Each structure stands twice: as structure tokens, then as C-alpha cells.
Structure 1
Amino acid sequence: MTLFLFVLLAALVFEYINGFHDAANAIATVVSTKVLTPRQAITMAAVCDMLGAFLGTAVATTIGKGIVDTGVVTMLTVLCALIAAILWGLLTWWLGLPSSSSHALVGGLCGSALATAHGNWSVLKWSAFDAQGAHVGLWPKIVLPMITSPTVGFIGGGLLMLLLLIALHRVTPRRVNQIFGKAQLASAGFMGISHGANDAQKTMGIITLALFTGTTSGAFNQLPSWLGFLHTPEFSIPNWVIITCALTLAAGTSAGGWRIIRTMGHKMVKLQPVHGFAAETTAALIIHTATSVGMPVSTTHVISTSIMGVGAAKRFSAVKWGVVGRIVWAWVLTLPVTGLTGYWLLKLLRAAGA
């Protein structure tokens, strides 16, 4: 039970960090275009994140039982996965790099599961079909979306921006700013809800995996009756987990993540309201679609590449490609670094007798 409490604490810390680390996803553009003040934008993002967290559990199910063999997972496996994701999130936040909390959690879970299984790679669910005939596993749910969603974000953002430029070429810049200053409120809200729907579910999945592990391993057998709500004999997301994750993500978002907001909202591309609208709308549509089919995509990758695509549509040189290069390196390193961290953390804790 003590170990589960550490897991729960680590999960909530991860969710909180996810909130302020990824606050930039929803509000960087609306702040940089000066449609809202930073405090107004953060308040709106926190509310939208919380509302989005209640929109389904398909992504949570993918994280909890679609990536690694749940029969091998222990409470220590989950704890090491969370610690690896937390460390990477804090490092990239400190450096001001918009990395993926989703991929950090997946990498940590894969690494710690491999260590738990003594290096047996079969513990990872690479590609399979479930009872309903749906394609599940790391390849269709994690790796393929990791490649395609940023690509679609870049192309989609660029195309939408080009269409808007064509449609608005006779409208005065002042009028364009007036129209899209209001429209961007809707697109930023949509982005916030989409972010909350996808990102909050990742922590729901990892907490439910810990509950399922504690129940099936017998670790919860001696719990007093008032803790009966912890028993999870089948993998389903409890309501109290959904509510807790929604509130924690909203609290983290309300704290902001100014280092990353500056990178995304100011350093990559100089944005006007119409550009912010195009980037947010593109990213929100992609994330919403992925969430509906249980894909835990990186909201950071999607909004970042949407901003890049919008900037490239303005003028290719408008994108500060040196900053983009640093961001891409953070993306590339996320899975291997967190995987190795999760692996060696479990090895070290096991050697220490944990």
C-alpha cells in the first residue's frame, strides 16, 4: 500500500508538471498575438483542460494496457516510469524546450517494463489486434502517430494559412485582426479542450494500471473496507481517477510554463491573430481525432509543427529554424532517454532491495 501511495503521488506530480509544461500548447499563440493577457489565457486554458479531461477514456486505456504486458508490470514498474517522465519534463521545462510528456511517459513505461522482465522484449506490445479487431500496440498507437501527427500538423497549418491568405487578400490588416482576434478565442478554447482530453487521460491510464496491478497481485487484499474503491479487478477507469486527474491538470496549467510559452509563442515565428487561429484550429482537429481513436499523441509536437507550417506559409524564412532544430532534438531524444532512465531506475531500486 505504501508503494502505491508513492505511485499515486508521482502520478499527480507528473500530471501537474504536464499541466504547466504543456500550458504553452493551448495558450502560446493567443498570448503572443495579444488577443488575451497571459493570466486570462491561462485561466481559460485551465478551465478548458479540466473540461476536456471528462471526454472519454480511450487514450487512458491505450496507456494502461495497450503498450506493455500488464501481467509483468509491478507497482515498482509504474513508479519508475513516472519518475523517468517527471525528470525529463523538468529538464526540458528548465531548458525551455517543448518536449512531449506523452512520449516521456511511454518511454519510461517501456524501459521500466523491460527491466522488470529482465530484458525480455516480448513484454512490449508492438502490434496486435484486439477482440474488436482494432489495431493496437506501440506501432499503430504510438510510433506511427508520432511520425504522422507532426507532419499533418505542418502541412495542415500551412494549407489552412494559405487558404486564409487567399480568402482575405482584399481585407485590410486592421479588419483581419479584428475578425480573428475574436475567432482565436474559439480556436484557443478548442485547443485547450483537445489538450485536456488527450493529456489528462495519460495519467488516468497509468494510475489505473497501478490499481489493476495492486488488485491482481493481491497487494490490496488486506485493505480496510473504506479503501475498497481502490480495488480494480478489471481495467476500467474509476470516476475518482478521472476527477483527480482533471483537477490536477487544471492546477498545473494555471501555474503556467513561461519558458516554453516564450519559445513557442515568440521565438519560432512572429504571429498575428489569423496565424494563431490557423495553428490552433489545425492542431485541435488533429488532437481531437487522435483522442477519439485512443492515440496518445504529443500535443506539443502537433501545435509546434502547426505553428511552423503557418509560419512557412507566410514566408519560409519567417520560421527561426535554429530554434526548431533544438526542439526537434528534444523530440528525438525523448523516447530513448526516458526509456533508459526508466530501465536503470528500476535496476537500481531493485538492487537496493525496493
Structure 2
Amino acid sequence: MALAIVVTVVVVALAFDYTNGFHDAANAIATSVSTRALTPRIALAMAAVMNFVGAFLGQEVANTVGSVISPPSGSHGLVIVLAGLVGAIAWNLLTWYFGLPSSSSHALIGGLVGAAVASGSLVKWRVIVDKVVIPMLVSPVVGFVAAFALMVAIMWIFRRRNPHRTQRGFRIAQTLSAAAMALGHGLQDAQKTMGVIFLALLTGGYVSADDGLPVWVIIAAATAISAGTWSGGWRIMRTLGRRIIHLDPARGFASESVAAGVLYTTAFVFEAPISTTHIITSSVMGAGATKRFSAVRWGVARSIVVAWVLTAPAAALVAAGVYGLCRAVFQLP
């Protein structure tokens, strides 16, 4: 039965990766599409390719995600991981339906923790506080402030240039910033699924803690998130690109560049699985606030923040319920 559950966990993990792709595809390309720097299809194709490439750039985030809980070995532990994934997928689909850019990363962590707590398994709270909670709180603030500062610098540097020419130049530059953002999304989010699959293989006894990520896991996760990205994410793209604030190319470039920089720094330096959704949304608000603070639609921003706050506990509750159901179905001790 353990092998069947391992296969199920891998399939569900890749399904989560796919939902992550279409849920978070808008993160990398919404601003470029809204400013008409790229057409939607070209933007999605570029994001899908860069997501795939980004998945091969490191394993730091995967190692962190795989270490947040320590489920028991065997079928019981695999059911815990499975329940955590189902909780994350449920929240992803709910927020996608309502067009809210919530965090797939924190849905995944919340789901795993909820299932672990319900089962009485070990939760490594120190890792969660240091690698998840603190970066979750700090990264949006950094994104807002850095994007605001970068946009102020751009406005000062180009203050005597022809506005039409300047915006046209930034529309071209947005192709690069959007590609960098999509690469960072693959670097961060594909690794989260890799970490969960490795945790399942470790729990099932198919790998040891000293083994590296199998190549097939990396390829499968990269393919799933890339396919999900290609399938789109129009509801959330509209929220990020238009409903928060109407961006021009310069502000789109500033927000994407800052977001990409934060994604790379947290992955390579701090090994922290931060939310691409949080960082691009806060960066869009920071760059947009340079027009005037009232230009940002704070009512929409407030709804997004509420979704952020609810993400981890909501996914945890669903995961705990799924664990209870699975425990009864599989007659686990």
C-alpha cells in the first residue's frame, strides 16, 4: 500500500505544482501585459519557459520545504503529506476562483503543518519562524519600499527626457524584467514541490536524507509548473495588472525588477520559500504609490492582505480535515 500512496502523493504534488503555475502565472507577467509591453500569449509562453529553466537553478528552497515537518515513516507519514497537499490545492483553487493573488507557498506550508499537527507529528517551528514567518512579514515591506525608491530614482533620472520616448524604452525593458521575474518564480515555486516529493520519498523509504534530489523529480516539477503557467491565470492577472493600480511601463519595470531581486536573494542567500505573490503585489503598490498614495486602490489591496493572512490557517484546517478523513478510510492507528 505504501507504494500506491507514494505514487498518489507524487501525482497530487505535481497537480499542486500545476495549480501553482496557473495561479501564480500572473505574478510574472501581469504588469507587462497591462502596460502592453507584451501580448498575453507571448508573455505566458515566455513565463512558461523561464519557469522551467528557473527550476534547475538550485535546491535550497526545496531543502527548506522538505524539512518543516517530520512525519513518521511508512503509510501513515505519506497520508500526512498527502493531506497537506490537498489542503494547499483547495485554497489555491478557491482564491483563483475569486481572483485573489494569495500565496501558494504559504498554502503549502500551512497544509503540511495542519496535517502534521492533526496527526501529532513533529513540526519544526524554528524552521517555520526563521524561514517562513519572518521572510513572509519582511519581504512585502522590502518590496514596497524598494520599488517606491527605485521608481523615485527613475523619475529623477529621466525627468528631462521625452516622456513618450522614455515610456517606450521601459516597455522594451519590461521584457527583460518580466523574464527575470518568471525565472525567479521557477526558482522559488518549482522547488517547493520538489521538496514535498522528496519528503514523500524519504517518508516512504525510497531515498535517504543524504541523497540529493533525483533528476526525474526536478524535471517533473519544472514541467508541471511550466504547463500550469502556459494555461494562464487571467483572473489574477486582471487584479494585479489593473485593479490595484493602472501601471505605466516604467512602474511595471520597477516593480518587476525589485520583485525578481528579492526572489533571488531569499532563495540563494536565506534559503527561504517566500511568496512570489506577496512580493510582486507589494512591489506594484510601492511603484504605483509614487504617483500619489490615493492612486493605489487600497480597498482591493485590503482584500488581498486578508487573503494573505487567511492562507496558512485556512489551508491548515482543510489539511487537518483531509487527514482525519484519510485516517478513517485507511484505518490508520
Could you say which TM-score interval applies, normalised by the shorter chain?
over 0.9
**2:208 aligns to what?**
233
Q: Distance in 2 between matches of 1:200 and 1:233?
A: 21
**2:200 aligns to what?**
210
Q: Distance in 2 between matches of 1:5 and 1:150?
A: 36
Aligned-residue RMSD, C-alpha: 1.2
Q: Point out where structure 1 has 5 or more consecutive residues left out of the alignment.
A: 128-136, 216-230
Contact 2:71 2:116 in 1 (8 A): no
**2:97 aligns to what?**
94
Contact 2:115 2:323 in 1 (8 A): yes
**1:64 aligns to what?**
66
Q: Distance in 2 between matches of 1:14 and 1:47?
A: 19
**1:223 aligns to what?**
none
**Aligned 1:1-354 pairs, distance under 5 A:** 1-65=3-67, 67-71=68-72, 74-117=77-120, 123-127=122-126, 137-215=127-205, 231-234=206-209, 235-292=211-268, 293-354=270-331
Equivalent position SS for 2:38: coil
Q: Distance in 2 between matches of 1:242 and 1:353?
A: 30
**1:225 aligns to what?**
none
Contact 2:51 2:222 in 1 (8 A): yes
Q: Deviations over 1:57-77 (max 9, x none)?
A: 000000011x11244770001
Q: Deviations over 1:199-249 (max 9, x none)?
A: 00000000000001111xxxxxxxxxxxxxxx3122531111001101111
Equivalent position SS for 2:70: coil
Aligned residues with identical type, % of pairs: 49
TM-score (ref. length: structure 1):
0.90
Q: Point out where structure 2 has 5 or more consecutive residues left out of the alignment.
A: none
The one-letter amino acid paired with 1:211 is L
Equivalent position SS for 1:80: helix
Q: After superposing the two structures, state which structure 1 stretch, 313-322 or 91-100, moved more.
A: 313-322
Q: Deviations over 1:241-278 (max 9, x none)?
A: 00110111110000010000000001101111101100
Q: Deviations over 1:307-344 (max 9, x none)?
A: 00011111111101111011011000001111111112
Q: Distance in 2 between matches of 1:161 and 1:241?
A: 40
Aligned residues: 325
Equivalent position SS for 2:255: helix
Q: Which runs of 4+ in 1 moved over 3 A?
A: 70-73
TM-score (ref. length: structure 2):
0.95
The one-letter amino acid paired with 1:14 is F
Equivalent position SS for 1:313: coil
The one-letter amino acid paired with 2:123 is L
Q: Distance in 2 between matches of 1:105 and 1:63?
A: 9
